[in-house]
Structure 1
Amino acid sequence: MESNYYTLKRTDNQLIMVTHLAQLLTYLTGFGGLIVPLIIWATQKDKVEGLDAHGKAIINFQLSTIIYCIISIPLILVFGLGILTLIIIGVLAFVMPIINAIKASNGEFPKYPLSFNFIS
Structure 2
Amino acid sequence: MESTISKHEKNLAAIIHLSTFSKYFIPFGNFIIPLLLWTSNKEKLGFVDENGKQAINFQISILLYSIILGLVAIPIVLFTAWEFVGFANLLEHNRHDVDFNFEHLSGFGWNAGLIGLIGMLGIALLITDVFCSIIATIRANEGTVYKYPFTIAFIK
TM-score range relative to shorter protein: 0.7 to 0.9
Q: Considering fraction of residues, name the structure with more helix.
A: 2
Structure 2 CA distance, aligned partners of 1:84 and 1:71?
A: 14
Any residues of structure 2 matched to 1:44-55 within 5 Å, and which?
Answer: 44-55=41-52
The equivalent of 1:102 in structure 2 is 138
Tell me if structure 2 keeps the 8 A contact 1:60–1:118. yes
- Write out per-residue CA displacement over residues 63-100 of structure 1, whole angstroms, 9 at most, x where no aligned residue: 10110010011332261132122111111111111111
Contact 2:53 2:155 in 1 (8 A): yes
Highest CA radius of gyration, 1 or 2? Answer: 2
In the TM superposition, structure 1's runs of 4+ consecutive aligned residues that sit over 6 Å from their partners are none
Q: Does 1:67 align with 2:64?
A: yes
TM-score normalized with structure 1 length:
0.85
Structure 2 counterpart of 1:27, one-letter code: Y
Consecutive unaligned residues in structure 2, runs of 5 or more: 77-110
Does residue 1:22 correspond to 2:19, yes or no?
Answer: yes
Q: What percent identity do the matched residue pairs reach?
A: 31
Aligned residues: 112
Tell me how far apart the structure 1 counterparts of residues 17 and 29 of structure 2 sit (CA, whole Å): 12
CA RMSD of aligned residues (A): 1.7
The structure, 1 or 2, with the larger RCO (C-alpha pairs under 8 Å, 6+ apart) is 2
